[in-house]
Structure 1
């Protein structure tokens, strides 16, 4: 055991993952949660983002599975769906519908509230963990703040009309974007951690629907997930063509219809939402939405800026405290990185705890260093896109020439990767690894084989020698033809690389 008591601030995904790790190293783990937690998969005040789609990336699935063995199986048993996006999603890219074709990546689709419910069930199986509900954390207790021996050694809280404090050998901040921990540390004598910020003015809006029974759906409705990317047309078009739109399947024969955009006001009333769905550039999106039965109002979110509190840069980091999830690094939710990054941080905490007998400066330095390397991966991805917008604000805004270069190159490069992935398994797998945070953008951009594959595909495209077609008319239903196995001269597209697509 590394100590007697650990206290986790917040009972959402980040806090629950941290608690699961700490239960192996502390006599007792106390989770303080402001909300009263629902017994089932239901929304609660402290997680307003639960009303929008959430991807659990493969790296996050694996991390949670290591912390809570059997998590994925329990999620699927509760209604989650393991799907292959390349086969089960209809994807509308710049030139139209992409071809349907088997890929290397699978994902588990479910609502955020179901993920949290399954995690709570797993946490309650661990006798060392106690979840205290209806408790608001009001401050930290510490000694020698800001000095080499400065340490956080407890928390203050309020529960109803009562207040009190808890002593702790380790405190984990999982309070999310709105965490006040940095302010409490400053009052106790620590300097404020430097912050990296970039807000690309993303707004998104969602509504929940019941799907029609399977036997009442149109014959062309083979897909389970619809994705409509923003137009790359620079001419006149409705602003809805700029939306990134998702018809996102979840448990219970339901879907979340979500539309979002950079720098555009999004509809928040029902009539405006439905009208906007009809004007999304692929007509199937509006038709699918109209075929379903709405079960909620319209939910809108503007709190989407990227923000990284760099505790790793402090000369004297506060001993006794680690931060995970959005409390340390919050991302533009469009990139689906939050839950997976939080789970990865919890797994790093597990590994560092395993390697240290005492919670000394060396322990916290190693955790912060390894966490920083982990967070670099999703942060670079978020910056690559959000820095391309001239209306973005924050410390990470780049020079105009770099912004213009990013804006000019990002879509053509993305299009080339997507097209090449249809016929080159190495490119497809590599990009899937980057998307799932298993590989950094830097590793991909320095991979000679990756760029050779793209260049080779572009040559074949110019010579008319590509095989798998693309760019199907987005005014028609997405084609359900399975192009898996269609290759040049009937041979496998993976034969040249020696790779097998599993």
Structure 2
């Protein structure tokens, strides 16, 4: 079923490419407009500074992309992506020490952002009706009778459009263009927890040391309230990507982060597990240090307009941008694109009623990752924005959020049912509220609390953070 002759996607990053896949079956042609010149291979480009940092592709996101582009996952692995089970392949330090290895319900594909986008571009090029125009600047929209009718480009070029998707990211000017065209002021929910993170790329040694059973190294911030170096409050990743490489990344809430190669190495040596700096010493640096501070959560509430513009949709950071620490961006964008395809399948016309239905469904979808981001970032005193809670509530969140998270992680190590639900929450397949509202899960959490209080844990934890993480597989010690 064709809903129009021409659809236009503003932006050729991951969100825009997913949107193009969603639109392709329903329009005679789909034009993707991208400001950058796109590389043929997996390379960095100016418009995606985030590509220098680790990117987790959550299971919900990789399934959504797979539905839009069949074969995506196989192509990602063929391109060098690593299909791993984090509970077996990651050394994870939380609380007082290293966690034990064991099998779990969750697997992930590890790879760089530039690999993900290269595979997506290859899949889009296979679609006969999609054309990507590069080096194109978008300067405005045209509207008539409450609907978007076209796109204005630099150089006084105009494109008529039957449908437009905004995938221009955090800095999208589309909201301002709509307000200038007569729509009401745009509400935005915001919370910036002052997250800054810094990364450097390394090549792994040709022969990994015998103690490196792990592929991924994760060091969570300390919960100790006493005196310690600021680096003990860093969230640290030694993140594996394609091509026998890793991205060493340190991030924090509210701390100044190293910007130079020397200070990066110095800070790494003060991280609370010496393995991080020792691993870096075994590797060869292949990049400079990359620092990012644009990390605030922003939800532009187009769904609150009584009469949203017709023939227009938003995907990715252009409508809802998250603190990148939580790895929700690409997956949320892919899920929005898949939702758009589902709504187009049922549509008879692309009017304001269609926009209202899509925005209502998207509000429900985005609410799941948004509430997860708020549950953590609202606990920080440095946070600012419309969603900053009252001080008493912030103190409560600060006191309970980290211990509660660690308690659930510990329960998941012991109980297969909790593990399955927690994997769904982490991957945006289930809301945290639905998990905690499940009577069966609650009963198992209570049972875990009682067993832990009596010292009857099956799976040990808290191994010495100054030592090598234990290689032993404790899978058979966990409850079925």
What TM-score range do you get, normalising by the shorter chain? Answer: over 0.9
Does the 8 Å CA contact 1:208/1:295 hold for their aligned counterparts? yes
For structure 1, list consecutive stretches of 5 or more residues without a partner in the other structure.
144-148, 488-492, 495-502
Aligned-pair distance for 1:166? 0.3
Task: Please tell me whether residue 168 in structure 1 is matched to residue 161 in structure 2.
Answer: yes
Aligned equivalents of 1:453 and 1:441: distance in 2?
A: 15
Return the alpha-carbon distance in structure 1 between the equivalents of residues 461 and 266 of structure 2: 29
Q: Among 180, 198, 201, which residue is 1:205 paired with?
A: 198
Equivalent pairs counted in the alignment come to 479
TM-score, normalised on structure 1?
0.94
Q: Which residue in the other structure is 2:437 paired with? A: 446
What is the match of residue 326 of structure 2? 335
Once residues 465 and 442 of structure 2 are traced to their aligned partners in structure 1, the CA distance between those partners, rounded to angstroms, is 29
Report the counterpart of residue 497 of structure 1 in structure 2.
Answer: none
How big is each residue's C-alpha offset from its partner over 1:382-410, in whole Å with a ceiling of 9 and x where there is no partner?
Answer: 00000001121100011111111100001
Contact 1:185 1:192 in 2 (8 A): no
Is the 1:11–1:33 contact (alpha carbons within 8 Å) kept by the matching residues of 2? yes
Shift of 1:411: 1.3
Cα deviation, residue 422, structure 1: 1.4
- 1:425-436 to 2 correspondences below 5 Å: 425-436=416-427
Q: Is the 8 A contact 2:170 2:318 kept in 1?
A: yes
Trace 1:457-476 onto structure 2 (pairs within 5 A).
457-476=448-467
The Cα of 1:455 is off from its aligned counterpart by: 1.7
| CA deviation after TM superposition for structure 1 residue 361, in Å | 2.2
Match of 2:148 among 132, 142, 152: 152
The residue matched to 2:340 in structure 1 has which SS?
Answer: helix
Specify which of 369, 375, 381 is matched with residue 366 of structure 2.
375
Of 297, 314, 319, the residue aligned with 2:310 is 319
What secondary structure is seen at the aligned counterpart in 2 of 1:485?
A: helix
Give the C-alpha shift of residue 204 in structure 1: 0.3
Instruction: Give the aligned partner of residue 292 of structure 1.
Output: 283
Q: Quote how far apart the aligned CAs of 1:95 are.
A: 1.6
Q: Deviations over 1:176-218 (max 9, x none)?
A: 000000111111111122110000000000000000013xx32
Mapping of 1:218-237 within 5 angstroms? 218-237=209-228
Structure 2: give runs of 5+ residues left out of the alignment. Answer: none
- 2:35 is aligned to 34
> Which residue, out of 405, 411, 415, partners 1:414?
405
Instruction: Provide the rounded CA distance (Å) in 1 between the counterparts of 2:91 and 2:13.
Output: 31
Q: Matches of 1:185 and 1:457 in 2, distance apart?
A: 52
Q: What are the Cα deviations for residues 88-144 of structure 1, in whole angstroms up to 9, with x where unaligned? A: 00000102000000000000000000000000000000010000000010111112x
CA drift of 1:447 comes to 1.9
Q: Residue 465 of structure 1: CA displacement?
A: 1.9
Contact 1:111 1:250 in 2 (8 A): yes
CA–CA separation in structure 2 for the residues paired with 1:191 and 1:442: 33
Contact 1:283 1:475 in 2 (8 A): yes
After superposition, what is the alpha-carbon deviation per residue over 1:440-496, rounded to whole angstroms, capped at 9, x for unaligned?
122122122222212211211222222211110000011110011125xxxxx11xx
Give 1:146's aligned residue: none
Q: What's the TM-score once normalised by structure 2's chain length?
A: 0.99
Q: Residue 31 of structure 1: SS of its match in structure 2?
A: strand
Give the distance between the partners of 1:482 and 1:297, measured in 2 at CA.
37
Q: Distance in 2 between matches of 1:299 and 1:464?
A: 44
Q: Single out whichever of 436-445 and 82-91 deviates more from structure 2.
A: 436-445
Conservation of the 8 A alpha-carbon contact between 1:96 and 1:471: yes
Q: Is the 8 A contact 2:310 2:354 kept in 1?
A: no
Q: Which residue of 1 aligns with 2:446?
A: 455
Cross-structure match for 2:471: 480
Question: Contact 2:192–2:383 at 8 Å: present in 1 too?
Answer: yes
Asked if the contact 1:91–1:98 (Cα under 8 Å) also holds between the matched residues in 2, the reply is yes
- SS of 2:382's partner is coil
1:63 maps onto 2:59 in alignment: no
